[in-house]
Amino acid sequence: DIQMTQSPSSLSASAGDRVTITCRASQTINTYLNWYQQRPGKAPKLLIYAASSLQGGVPARFSGSGSGTDFTLTINRLQPEDFATYYCQQSYTTPRTFGQGTKVEIK
Amino acid sequence: EVQLLESGGALVQPGGSLTLSCAASGFRFSSYAMNWVRQAPGKGLEWVFGISRGGGNTYYAGSVKGRFSISRDNSNNTLYLRMNSLRVEDTAVYYCVKENEEYISSGNWFDSWGQGTLVTVAS
């Protein structure tokens, strides 16, 4: 199975900050990498697909980059509604695997 | 608007069985692959099972091999997860998840999620 490792596991930030979350795959996955946001008590929501494409309706302050094994999710000008847990997920092969999550908390 | 409504979650004893259902609406259900993803309390996401649009291709996680099965009824827009030989570690919220394409293949993504149904395995 492909292992997905996110860092950091958690971070504290203030509204207006720029936040960067990284995701590393245990083998190359091309750009078959997706990012999801999960607010407390809610279902996950797709943010970014194919490493860098923004899902419809997602604010442009979210962006993704990377290919191969190393990927990044960036949130510019953090908003109160962005405090949540973020997961990366590979779709290179089955079983589909997720990173362990990065919790973005209010400083 | 895509809607996925899971049902069937319950408290069940170890070794027991349960079937989850997911009623889909707002899209052409028969045209898309579907999945089940679970989340244990306070933990991360784990993909469990996937099924192609016609049901002819299924894929699963090793943790459920031989115990769970997936099926779909395209005439009734419903996805199922049959769970046998349940273990304490199967305790989780189970999400019904729509894939963006008709087959489980490289490069796809999960574009819609249900709200989940809780399965608790305990004696």
Interatomic CA distance for residues A34 and B11, integer angstroms: 33
pLDDT tens digits, residue range A17-42?
999 999 999 999 999 999 999 999 99
Write down the pLDDT at residue B6: 98
Residues 6 or more apart in contact with residue A91 via CB below 8 angstroms: A29, A32, A33, A34, B106, B107, B108, B109
In the stretch 46-65 of chain B, residues with CB closer than 8 A to chain A read 46-47, 50, 59-62
Residues 6 or more apart in contact with residue B110 via CB below 8 angstroms: A34, A36, A44, A46, A89, B35, B37, B97, B98, B99, B100
Instruction: For residue A6, report the phi and psi dihedrals to the nearest 5 degrees.
Output: -100, 150
Size (chain A), residues? 107
**Closest chain A C-alpha to B25 CA, distance in angstroms:** 17
Cis link prior to A8 (omega < 30° from 0)?
A: yes
Question: In this model, does residue A74 exceed pLDDT 90?
Answer: yes
Residues 6 or more apart in contact with residue B65 via CB below 8 angstroms: none
CB distance A105 to A12 below 8 Å: yes
For residues A79-103, average pLDDT: 97
Q: What is the pLDDT along chain B (123 residues), one digit of tens a residue?
A: 999 999 999 999 999 999 999 999 999 999 999 999 999 999 999 999 999 999 999 999 999 999 999 999 999 999 999 999 999 999 999 999 999 999 999 999 999 999 999 999 999
pLDDT tens digits, residue range A41-66?
999 999 999 999 999 999 999 999 99
Question: In this model, does residue A107 exceed pLDDT 90?
Answer: no
Q: Please name the residue that has the structure tokens 């997905």.
A: A4
Q: Name the residue among B8, B5, B9 with its Cα closest to residue B25.
A: B5
Write down the pLDDT at residue A106: 87
For residues A80-101, average pLDDT: 97
In the stretch 101-120 of chain B, residues with CB closer than 8 A to chain A read 104, 106-116
CA angle A89-A55-A3, nearest 5°? 5
Do B109 and A46 lie within an 8 Å CB cutoff? yes
Write down the pLDDT at residue A52: 98
User: How many percent of chain A have pLDDT more than 70?
Assistant: 100
- Token pair, residue A15, equals 């509204």
Instruction: For residue B31, report the phi and psi dihedrals to the nearest 5 degrees.
Output: -100, 0
Q: Which DSSP symbol is given to B55?
A: S
